[in-house]
Structure 1
Amino acid sequence: MGISAIKKYIDLKLIMLLAGFYVLFDIVFIARYAYMRANYPNEVFEPWFDFLVYNILIDFLVVVTYMSLIAISTKRFLHKNYSWVKIIIIHTIFSILIGLIIRLIFDLVGIATGQIPFSEYQVAESLSRFMYVIHLNFLIYFAMVFIIYTYYYVKQVKEAEKQRGMLETQLVNTRMKMLSSQLQPHFLFNTLNSIAVLADLDKEKAKDTIADLSDFLREILYSRNDNEITLEKELRTLEYYLNILNVRFSDHLTIKKDIDQNLLNKKIPALLLQPLIENSIKHGYSYDHTDLHIQISVKERDNYLIIRVANNGKALASKHEELLQNGVGLANINDRLRNLYHDDYFFEISNISENGAGVQTIIKIPLHD
C-alpha cells in the first residue's frame, strides 16, 4: 500500500491529536498515582516500572490504536450519511468494547509475563475490574470521539471555504474576461472608424494613428489576463489612445491630467480610463460646445483612490441609472467594479452644476498595491 493510499484511510494529524489528548490524560493519571503513593504509604501500590509499563504504556498503545480505527470508521459514517441515532448506538457499543479489549489485553499480558498464574485466573474478577472503570472508559471514549468529529467538521469547513474561494475567483475571472471581450471590440470599432476618416484627409496622420492603435492593442493583449493593473501602466496605455484622439479632434479637444505621483504603483481595473474619456467626448460635444476640455485627476482620500473625469461640455439630460442602462461602455465599467469590489466602490456620472455646462464622472475604489 502506497503513501497516498495510507493517507486516504489514516489522517496522521488526527492520530497525533488523539495521542496528545491521551498523553494529557496519562500525565494526570501519573500525577494522581504519585500523590497517592506519597500520602498513603501504608497502602499497597504497584512498583513504578510495572505501573508505567502495564498501566500507562500498554494502555496508551491500545487506546490510540483503537481510536485510530474508530476515526477511520467515523470518516466512513460521515461519507455514508448515517442517522445520528444509528451513530450514537454504534459509538455506545464501541465505548463498551474498548473497555473489554483493554481488560482482555491486560489479562493476556499478565498471563504471558507470569504476573497472573493461568490456574488462578478468574473471569468474574476480570469482569469486576472492567465494571469498576466502565464509566471512565465511556467518558474517555466519547471525549475522543468528540475530538474526531470536531476535527472532521473543521476540516470540511476549511475545504468548503477553500473551494468556495476558488469558485468565486474563477467566477470573477470568467466575468472579467467576458466583459473585456465585450469592451475591446467596442473601442476597436470606434477607432477604426476614425482611421477610415483620416485616411482620406491625411495619410501620414492615418499611419501615425495606426501605429498608436497597434501600441494600444499590444498593451491590452499583454494584460488581457490581469483584472487589475498599476495606475502607471494604465496611464501609459491611455497615452496611445489620447494620441489617436488628438489626431481626430485636432485643436477642438484639450485633455489635462492631474495625477498624484505617489499612486502610480496602486492597482486599478485594467482599461478603466479609456471608456471614461470616450464617454466624456461622446456626450460632451454639441452644437454649442465645439471646444471640449477634459480634466483627469487621480487622488487619494481616506484610503480610497478617487478617479475624476470632468469636462465643460453639454450637460446630461439623463440620470446616472439611465446612462448605465443605455451605454455599453458605462454598464461594462459598473459590472467590472462590482465583480472586483462588490459593494465597496462608488461610481457616478452627474452634471457639475444644475444650470451650467459640464459633466463629471467619479469612481471611488479601495486603495491597494
Structure 2
Amino acid sequence: MKIFLKKYLDINLILLLSGFYALFNIVYVGKAVYMHHYSPRMPEFPWREFLLYNILLDWVVVVTYMTLIAISTKKLLNKNYSWVKIISIHTLFSILIGLIIRLIFDVFGILVGQIDPSEYELQESFHRFMAVIELNFLIYFAMIFIIYTYYYLKQVKEAEKRHSQLESQLVNTRMKMLSSQLQPHFLFNTLNSISVLADLDAGKAKDTIADLSDFLREILYSNDENEITLEKELRTLEYYINILNIRFSDHLKIRKDIDERLLNKKVPALILQPIIENSIKHGYSYEHTDLDVDISIHAEGDYLQIKVENNGEPISLSEAQLQKKGVGLANIKDRLENLYGNDFYFKMRNKESRAGVETIIRIPLK
C-alpha cells in the first residue's frame, strides 16, 4: 500500500487541488454574503448550517474524490489510453461527483437529524442534483485541467533533466573512451603496428592510419546525439575493429551477424565499442590466447537485441563488482536507464552451453 501511494499519490498536487477548491468556496461565501446583505428578497440565512454543510463538508468530499481521480489519472496516463477514451471516462466521473455529493449530503443530513427519513424524497434529491449538474461538471473539468497540467509540467521538467544528464553522460563517455583507449600504450601499439606495416605492406599501413583517423574523428567531432542509427553505430565500430585486427593479428577473430532490416533503427550512441572492448579485455588469458568474438543484432519481439559473445576466460566477479571495477559497464547501464527508464535489459554473464562470456542488451525498437 505504501509503495502504491508513493508511486501514484502526489502530495503537492493534492495541496494544489485543495487550494483551488478552497479558493472557489471563498468566492462562493463572498457571493452569499453580498447577496444576503444587498438583496432585500433574501430570507434569513442559516450561516452555521451553510458553512458546515455547504462549505466544509462539500470541500472534504470534493477534495477526497479528486484525490482518487488524481491517482486514477496517473494510472490512465501510464496506460497510454486514447484521448477519446480518457474524455469519456472523465465525463462519467464528472456526473458521478454530483451524485456522490448529493448522496453524502442526504445521508449526513439524516444522521444529524436535519432530514426526517419519513419525509425524504428521492425525486427531490435528484432535482437538487440536476440543479447544479453543470456547475459540478465545470468544477470537475477545471480540476482535471489542473491535474493534467501539473503532470505535463512535471514530465517536461523530468525530460529536461534526463536530457541534461544524457548530454553530460555522452560527453563523459567520449572522454572515458579516450582516457581508457587512447592511453600511451594504445597509441604506441597502434603506431608501432603501422610502423611495421610500412615496410611490409604500405597499403595496409595507410588503411590503418585512415581507420585510426576516422575512429578519432567519429568520437571527437560527431554531433552530440544520444541515439543514432544502427548503421552509423556499426560504421564507427568498423574503424575500431580494423585497428584491433592489426593489433591482435591472427589471435582475434570478430564475426558479425546483423539483421540489415534494423540498420535504420535507433540505438544509444557509442554503445557497441565499450562492450567489444570489455569482451576482449576480460576474454584474453594465459589459457585463452586466441579469442573469437561474435556480434549478433536481431529483433526480439518489440525489442532490438544486441549480443556480444566470446570464447575466452569466464568471469569470476559479479555484475555489480564488474561495474564498480570499471567505468564502461556502469556507464552503459546509467545511459540505458536514462534513455529507456526500466524498459530495457542488460546482462553480462558466463555462457551456459560452452566456455566464454556473453553480454546482452535489449532496448525498445524505434
Q: Give the structure-2-normalised TM-score.
A: 0.61
Compute the displacement of 1:85 (Å): 5.1
C-alpha spacing 1:361/1:85, structure 2 compared with 1 (3 Å): same
- The separation in 2 between residues aligned to 1:219 and 1:200, in whole angstroms, is 22
Structure 2 unmatched ranges of 5 or more? 1-16, 41-127, 199-203
Compute the displacement of 1:141 (Å): 8.6
Helix, strand or coil for the counterpart of 2:182? helix
What is the identity, as a one-letter code, of the residue corresponding to 1:89?
A: V
Residue 161 of structure 1 pairs with residue 151 of structure 2? yes
Total equivalences in the alignment: 257
Q: Which stretch of structure 1 is more off in the superposition, 178-187 or 83-92?
A: 83-92
Compute the displacement of 1:328 (Å): 0.5
Helix, strand or coil for the counterpart of 2:306? strand
Q: Which stretch of structure 1 is more off in the superposition, 225-234 or 147-156?
A: 147-156
Residue 197 of structure 1 pairs with residue 189 of structure 2? yes
Structure 1 unmatched ranges of 5 or more? 1-76, 101-137
Q: Conserved in 2, the CA contact under 8 Å of 1:303 and 1:367?
A: yes
**1:132 paired residue number:** none
**2:316 paired residue number:** 317
What is the identity, as a one-letter code, of the residue corresponding to 1:275?
A: P
Deviation track 1:158-202 (CA, whole Å, cap 9, x = no partner) reads: 322221222122122112122222221222231353222333453
Helix, strand or coil for the counterpart of 2:248? helix
C-alpha spacing 1:364/1:78, structure 2 compared with 1 (3 Å): closer
Match of 1:184 among 174, 187, 200: 174
**2:350 paired residue number:** 351
Alignment of 1:1-369 (within 5 A): 86-93=26-33, 142-189=132-179, 190-193=181-184, 194-200=186-192, 202-203=194-195, 204=198, 208-220=207-219, 223-353=222-352, 357-368=355-366
Q: Conserved in 1, the CA contact under 8 Å of 2:193 and 2:247?
A: no
C-alpha spacing 1:86/1:297, structure 2 compared with 1 (3 Å): same
C-alpha spacing 1:97/1:363, structure 2 compared with 1 (3 Å): farther
- The separation in 2 between residues aligned to 1:336 and 1:224, in whole angstroms, is 17
Q: Conserved in 2, the CA contact under 8 Å of 1:241 and 1:274?
A: yes
Q: Conserved in 1, the CA contact under 8 Å of 2:190 and 2:243?
A: no
Helix, strand or coil for the counterpart of 1:322? helix
Compute the displacement of 1:225 (Å): 2.9
C-alpha spacing 1:99/1:325, structure 2 compared with 1 (3 Å): farther
Q: Conserved in 1, the CA contact under 8 Å of 2:297 and 2:305?
A: yes
Q: Conserved in 1, the CA contact under 8 Å of 2:230 and 2:266?
A: yes
- The separation in 2 between residues aligned to 1:98 and 1:306, in whole angstroms, is 75
Compute the displacement of 1:313 (Å): 0.7
C-alpha spacing 1:228/1:202, structure 2 compared with 1 (3 Å): closer
**1:12 paired residue number:** none
Compute the displacement of 1:239 (Å): 0.8
- The separation in 2 between residues aligned to 1:261 and 1:320, in whole angstroms, is 31
- The separation in 2 between residues aligned to 1:99 and 1:145, in whole angstroms, is 23
Percent of counterpart pairs with the same letter? 44
Deviation track 1:250-292 (CA, whole Å, cap 9, x = no partner) reads: 2211100001111111111111110100000110011111111
Q: Conserved in 1, the CA contact under 8 Å of 2:170 and 2:226?
A: no
- The separation in 1 between residues aligned to 2:38 and 2:257, in whole angstroms, is 76
What is the identity, as a one-letter code, of the residue corresponding to 2:301?
A: D
Compute the displacement of 1:327 (Å): 1.9
**2:7 paired residue number:** none
- The separation in 2 between residues aligned to 1:318 and 1:200, in whole angstroms, is 34
Helix, strand or coil for the counterpart of 1:202? helix
C-alpha spacing 1:213/1:92, structure 2 compared with 1 (3 Å): farther
Compute the displacement of 1:94 (Å): 7.0
What is the identity, as a one-letter code, of the residue corresponding to 2:210?
A: A
Deviation track 1:338-359 (CA, whole Å, cap 9, x = no partner) reads: 11111111111111138x5311
Root mean square deviation, CA, Å: 3.5
- The separation in 1 between residues aligned to 2:37 and 2:220, in whole angstroms, is 67
Compute the displacement of 1:148 (Å): 4.2
- The separation in 2 between residues aligned to 1:321 and 1:192, in whole angstroms, is 26
Q: Conserved in 2, the CA contact under 8 Å of 1:95 and 1:142?
A: no
- The separation in 1 between residues aligned to 2:38 and 2:132, in whole angstroms, is 11
- The separation in 1 between residues aligned to 2:334 and 2:256, in whole angstroms, is 26
